[in-house]
Structure 1
Amino acid sequence: MPVPGIVELRRYTAHPGRRDELVELFEREFVDSQAEVGMPILGTFRQPSQPDAFIWVRSFPDLASRAPSLTAFYSGPVWAEHRTAANATMADFHDVHLLCPVRGQFPPPRDEPGVVRISVHHFAGPADEHADHSPDPLVLATHPGPNEFPALPVREGEHVLVTISLDPAIPPTPDAWARLAVREPEHLLLEPTATSRLR
């Protein structure tokens, strides 16, 4: 899978009991329609440990193309038709990291889907130079922005390294990362949905 220039890690919370409704609507209406305006969806996931969590990964060729693509989608006919139904399923959609790849490649999909692990490591300042310490195949870091589409907020003033692996085993945190971290890493063990390219 080609490495894009910009990646969004989006962590949504559905209203209790409505996650599958959101997943079904998203896969039916929003995957192809976002790709058509230059925003391929790389992964869509349920988090078994969190019954209301829906996590997805969206990509852009570069930062300059992000705002025009978002404008095209969110002012377009598909979102206009289905936004009320989508928004009704969501309790929160503001947990978003704007990222850029700093090392490695997205792992190719498996023949049979399995657990995908996304790990989020939090630092006091940029830690891009430590990316090589990770054993995972892909490392992404906080992109400094700016967020030129303020209608969709992203987490600002934070520094994270995000790793993605198709190996669900949780590796030890690299020593260099442990020294710099400001809190314990988050390890998200995720179940790909039917249309997920990361699987």
Structure 2
Amino acid sequence: MKPTLNAMPKPAALASPIVELRQYTLKPGRRETLIEIFDTEFIESQEDAGMTIIGQFRDLDRPDMFVWMRGFDSMDARKDALGAFYDGPVWAAHRDAANATMIDSDDVLLLRPAWPDAGFDLSGPRRPTAPKGTSDRNWLPGLVEISIHHLRPGTGADFAGRFRAEMVVRIAQNGARLLGAFLTEPTANTFPRLPVRAGENVFVAVTAFHNADASHRLAVSPAWRALGQSMQAVSTKPAETLRLVPTARSLLR
């Protein structure tokens, strides 16, 4: 299925109850090939199967990484939607070309909103077209940063509450936008054909910046560093930070 001009996303509430954060390790030099296949063939076809394609990104620091997110209404809806897509004609037609770009596609976190309104608001963006064969490498949509905090068991709710109370305001004061905040979804994987990372207990924050300089200014500010260090006390290892540039057809930017 080809892209539709200004295709409307699903309502925001449908994008957020269950979210997959997927990080793919690709063969050297193959990222642009996968992005073209994905943005041309795998957006509308997945959404037709019952999911929301939230965002897809180039990793600024890892040239052979492709990062993307998709959302589902529930874990049961996830099972049905994934079955419909991966048993359907579009995946059958393009899976060999897509898989040929990949080394690993099993780095997947299954997430839920960290508080009631912490999910992604996709009610406003329109998805532009990207004609097949047209590169979007000169697209300048700003920077999306994903921070992954690995937490001790039983600390997720408290960590999310403190982040909401103390760090969200710092993000806004620095001209950035918190796009979403998530905790691990504890329900067992309902579609075992696609593995997810088991035994994880994470808090994930997704933030939009105008550019990399804005992200750096926040990261080095004394107040932000002090808050981060104090919150590290309940973490099992240092937080991961993904600095991402959305592709031209990403709703999240």
Query: Smaller-chain TM-score range?
Result: over 0.9
Deviation at 1:48, TM superposition (A): 1.5
Aligned to 2:74: 62
Contact 1:107 1:166 in 2 (8 A): no
Query: What percent identity do the matched residue pairs reach?
Result: 43
Deviation at 1:124, TM superposition (A): 2.3
Q: What runs of 5+ residues in structure 2 fail to find an aligned partner? A: 1-10, 127-139, 169-177, 210-214
For structure 1, which segment, 105-114 or 27-36, has the greater mean C-alpha deviation from structure 2 after superposition?
A: 105-114
Aligned to 2:246: 192
Aligned to 1:162: 204
Q: What amino acid sits opposite 1:69 in the alignment? A: A
Aligned to 1:150: 192
- Whether 1:122 aligns to 2:150 is yes
Aligned to 1:106: 120
For structure 1, which segment, 160-169 or 150-159, has the greater mean C-alpha deviation from structure 2 after superposition?
A: 160-169
Deviation at 1:107, TM superposition (A): 5.8
Give the CA RMSD over aligned residues. 2.0
Q: What amino acid sits opposite 2:194 in the alignment? A: L
Q: What amino acid sits opposite 2:106 in the alignment? A: H
Q: What amino acid sits opposite 2:233 in the alignment? A: R
SS of 2:38's equivalent in the other structure is: helix
Deviation at 1:175, TM superposition (A): 5.4
Contact 1:120 1:185 in 2 (8 A): yes
TM-score by structure 1 length? 0.93
Aligned to 2:182: 140
SS of 1:191's equivalent in the other structure is: strand
- Measure the CA separation in 2 of the matches of 1:185 and 1:84: 34
Aligned to 2:17: 5
Deviation at 1:64, TM superposition (A): 1.4
Contact 1:10 1:56 in 2 (8 A): yes
For structure 1, which segment, 182-191 or 110-119, has the greater mean C-alpha deviation from structure 2 after superposition?
A: 110-119
Aligned to 1:93: 105
Richer in helix (by share): 2
- Measure the CA separation in 2 of the matches of 1:184 and 1:63: 29
Deviation at 1:184, TM superposition (A): 0.4
Larger Rg: 2
Contact 2:12 2:121 in 1 (8 A): no
Deviation at 1:145, TM superposition (A): 1.7
CA deviation vs aligned residue, 1:28-62 (integer Å, no higher than 9, x gap): 00011111111111010001210000000010011
Which of residues 236, 245, 248 is equivalent to 1:182? 236
Q: What runs of 5+ residues in structure 1 fail to find an aligned partner? A: none
Contact 2:182 2:205 in 1 (8 A): yes
Contact 1:133 1:176 in 2 (8 A): no
Richer in strand (by share): 1
CA deviation vs aligned residue, 1:44-102 (integer Å, no higher than 9, x gap): 00012100000000100111101010000000000000001110000110100000001
Aligned to 2:87: 75
Contact 2:125 2:251 in 1 (8 A): no
- Measure the CA separation in 1 of the matches of 2:106 and 2:198: 11
- Measure the CA separation in 2 of the matches of 1:128 and 1:88: 40
